[in-house]
Amino acid sequence: MTILLGGDIGGTKTILRLVDCQNSSDSPQPRLITLDQEIYPSKQYPDLVPIVQQFLARQTTIPPVEKACFGIAGPVVNNSSELTNLSWSLTGDRLSHELQIERVKLINDFAAIGYGVLGLAPEELHNLQSAPTVPEAPIAVIGAGTGLGEGFLIPVSKGKYQVFASEGSHADFAPRSSLEYQLLNYLLELYNIERLSVERVVSGPGITSIYRFLHDSNSSQSSPAMAEIYRTWLAEMGKPQKTVDLAAKIASFAQDDSDDLCYQTMKIFVEAYGAEAGNLALKLLPYGGLYIAGGIAAKNLPLMTEGSFMKAFRAKGRMRELLSNIPVHIVLNAQVGLMGAVSCASQL
């Protein structure tokens, strides 16, 4: 029995999972049996250590944890991280010492998703494009949520992969139509910036930015209900407490087909998302599969599957045929990052 600890550490919540890792002679991947799991409100604690101590204190009959891995919502450098939305400063060495765990590794939350996709079951995926999987080929991961994450996996031996995060989401946004050129210029002026990254469009905040662009161009297409929500959102800008998640409302109105501006917003978003996924696929040729993670895709399956995403994904001129042979999946399991942290711990 080898006891592992995995964690998904975010600004709002911390999820911990305790696992029994059992090696198998007939599979390159160990069998990971969940023993316990709990969610904690991150901001109610001064550090990760007391959360883990509280979690482990209720384990009275289980051997000590040998290895731990924590996926961090923020940059990780030399096994250290200054969390973006928390006043926590974490290092693997300090956590190892204070928690008395032999090996502790910190990884970026999107790298954790990269590890996690390897353990997903078929029912935890929605296939957008079926194609034969090539085991020797790279795997690509992209996911829009609060921001946009991109990463990839490279096979190193049978059933084993090395996972890499990237900063591909900060590449330039590339307009593909006159409307997207207008969007580009609008956002450059709105934010008073010299360049626009793709993350400014393909993300939750990107959805609100697209909506603002369309609303300022033709507010008469907004329904009365959405217009009131938008006014409330504008009034709450800059305030610590907010009552409106504008991106979620836009997506909801778009799926209900009850607001023209919301539907147009999500159409632009989905097409830009598909185009960026196609750009990532061109650079990696991930015949091992391209996985779409992040909260937005799974919560908006009707919009993601109606055709615009894959049309933009494949619209790469002479390279269309190459992209048509890449398996593309939407990840449905919201805890894929936690799964990945546990998987990474098993490889330490």
Which residues are annotated binding-site positions?
7-12
Please name the helix (run of DSSP H) or strand (run of DSSP E) that holds residue 149, with its range, or none.
Answer: strand 148-157
Please name the helix (run of DSSP H) or strand (run of DSSP E) that holds residue 199, with its range, or none.
Answer: none
Tell me the residue type at 189.
Answer: E
The pairing of strands 160-166 and 148-157 is antiparallel
Whether the Cβ atoms of residue 43 and residue 240 lie closer than 8 Å to each other = no
What residues are designated binding site for ATP?
Answer: 7-12
CA distance 3 to 293: 28
CA distance 237 to 133: 46
Nearest by Cα to 331 from 156, 74, 125, 135: 125
249: Cα separation from own chain's centroid: 20
Give the total residue count for the chain.
348
> How many Cβ atoms sit within 10 Å of the Cβ of residue 32?
18
CA distance 157 to 329: 23
Report helix, strand and coil shares of the chain as percent, to nearest 5: 45, 25, 30
CA distance 304 to 299: 9
**Residue 128 burial (C-beta neighbours within 10 Å; 0-12, 13-18, 19+):** buried
- DSSP per-residue codes, 11-68: SSEEEEEEEEEE--TT-SSPEEEEEEEEEEEGGGSSSHHHHHHHHHHT--SSPPP-EE
The pairing of strands 125-129 and 80-82 is unpaired
Q: Which residue has the tokens 């995403």?
A: 309
